[in-house]
Structure 1
Amino acid sequence: MARTSESRLWTRKVEVDKERGLSISLIEDPTLDLGGDDAWCAWCLWPAAKALMNYLATMDDQVLKGSSILELGSGCGAVGMYAALRGAKPAILTDVYRALPLLKRNVAADGLGGLCRILALPWGTRLDHLAPEIRSCVPFDLVLAADCSYDFVNPETPSPSIDALLATAKSLGRRALICVSRRPHEVEAFTCSVERAGLSQMATVVYNEEMNAEKEGVPECLVYSFNFAESFQSRAGEC
């Protein structure tokens, strides 16, 4: 007989931008069993998401207001919801199919259903296989991702998930902000993936935040900015 675990949802208030007085209600589920390795991490707010929101908070309102935003690996949806609160339009939050129910609950709990669209987007999916709501917005002004580089063996071994993340970000957005936590070898693995993808000249570390390692489990998070605008101009010239 299959054993089932009782879900223990809890809701907490998270201050995401003190200066602007912005907070979100966040539903987390520490017993979430999504039945697959590709969605186990969607249940809580991870440190890189906090760091990425802190970096976005340094941006002027006009940078995000009216900009089209795509979040990859949204998990609980904190980063995408924050972008929506700052005026991003549309703000499309995506993850694998099994992670969407909790993501939808979070968006509904914050009353952001009218501002955020929730769609499935497994990294590496061909553009013509994506939802029309995503295809119609390409290229997005900004692609966001946080704590999405955990699935690697070592820096020298190619990581299919990081490769797919980078390829998806490049194919869908003019610019991408990807926040990486400094767990053992994780930043090094991400950097190697960037180099293998030939994206080193497009990538810059624009922000780093020291974390409480005892509380957060990581000592630091880094935000990489990727400028893909020229690649879209090249594609337009070829058409």
Structure 2
Amino acid sequence: MSSSTSFYAQILHDADEMVSVEDAEEEVCDLYSVYYSRDSHDRLDLVDPGKTELEIEIEGGKRSFVVTIGQNPNINGELGQTGAVLWNSSVVMSEYFARKSYSSWNLADLNIVELGSGCGLVGLTLHRLGARRTVLTDQPRMMKLLGRNIDRNRVSAVSKRDKTTEVLATEYVWGALPEDQEVLREPVDMVVASDCVYHESVAPLLVSALVDVCRSRSTSEAGGRTVGVIGQELRSDLVHQAFVAQLLEHFVVRRAPVSESVDRVYALYFVWLRE
């Protein structure tokens, strides 16, 4: 795609490859009929929770690169905190973005916000792939870890069209405005969330945050709609159904194939606000 093509237009170009999700109950039946027939060992789970630093090779087809990720196993699990260690679901999403970037997507002009960044692998992958601006967000207790991981992976070189790339982190507690309100003053092209829903109570908060970010861009603007990309490992069918139902209240929802093995345990959604 040319650099003048909006990300929304790029996604519409790929829409024929995606499943249109119209009903949450039907979606769960489709996904979990396969999920419950899988081998019980087929899970994405944690990468290596015992290490304080990981070297993650992101495979993008014929090309690959390494992202260095620090972890904090000591705070994982505190008060529901799950983002202080790296999950394989984030590797799946990162490699999907790498394959798409190297084959068809153009990220060079995009302003991207990640919700619930955790250790930051997905957002840092998008930064490494040349996104113009990538904002990683999470709860206040994650800022120190995110800041260190940004410092480990910041790209000082320029992107494809001689435009600098920027990456930063800011606090964003869902249900409130981001600490740095400038985050939503510039129209957002893509908002990303990787494996953020572990409990039914989280779903409305995440959906509300997605709506807020997507409203940063008017549908009349040249860039078109803000596109949400949401990856979710399949766990509880009830939690997943509640999440999809709440997405459908506000968004057009499409599910994209990742790979035959991953699709048994993982769902990747592209969403944009309904008219």
Instruction: Give the structure-1-normalised TM-score.
Output: 0.75
Q: Is structure 2 residue 122 aligned with structure 1 residue 74?
A: no
Aligned partner of 2:140 among 97, 100, 109: 97
Instruction: Determine the structure 1 residue equivalent to 2:173.
Output: 122
**1:166/1:194 contact within 8 Å kept:** no
Alpha-carbon distance between aligned partners in 2 of 1:119 and 1:86, rounded to the nearest angstrom: 21
Q: Distance in 2 between matches of 1:165 and 1:108?
A: 27
State yes or no: 1:221 paired with 2:273: no
Q: Structure 2 unaligned runs (5+)?
A: 1-49, 157-164, 215-225
Aligned to 1:150: 198
Could you report, residue by residue, the CA deviation over 1:72-123 in whole angstroms, capped at 9, with x for unpaired residues? 0000000000001111121000000011111111111223587311000011
Residue in 2 that maps onto 1:30: 73
1:195 equivalenced with 2:236 (yes/no): no
Q: Deviations over 1:128-177 (max 9, x none)?
A: x652321222x31000011101022xxxxxx2x21111121122131101
Is the Cα contact below 8 Å between 1:47 and 1:221 reproduced in 2?
A: no
Residue ranges of structure 1 left out of the alignment (5+ in a row): 1-7, 153-158, 212-217, 232-239
Matches within 5 A, 1:45-56: 45-56=86-97
Aligned pair count?
203
RMSD of Structure 2 on Structure 1 (CA): 2.6
Higher RCO structure (Cα 8 Å, ≥6 apart): 2
Contact 1:55 1:207 in 2 (8 A): no
**Is 1:57 matched up with 2:57?**
no
Identity across aligned pairs (percent)?
22
Partner secondary structure for residue 63 of structure 1 = coil
Structural mapping, 1:9-28, within 5 Å:
10-18=52-60, 19-28=62-71
SS of the residue corresponding to residue 257 of structure 2 reads: strand
Distance 2:168 2:251 in 1: 32
Q: Give the CA deviation at 1:9.
A: 5.8
Secondary structure of the structure 2 residue equivalent to 1:75: coil
Shift of 1:125: 1.6
Structure 1 Cα separation of the partners of residues 82 and 246 of structure 2: 26
Taking the aligned partners of 2:142 and 2:208, their CA distance within structure 1 comes to 21
Counterpart position of 2:254: 204
CA drift at 1:20: 2.6
- Select the residue among 230, 236, 259 that pairs with 1:178: 230
Moved more, 53-62 or 165-174: 53-62
What letter corresponds to residue 172 of structure 1 in structure 2?
A: V
Deviations 1:1-60 (A, max 9, x none): xxxxxxx862221111343322111112222368533xx212221122112112212324
Structure 2 CA distance for partners of 1:35 and 1:45, relative to 1, 3 Å:
closer
Check whether the contact 1:208–1:220 (CA below 8 A) recurs between aligned residues: no
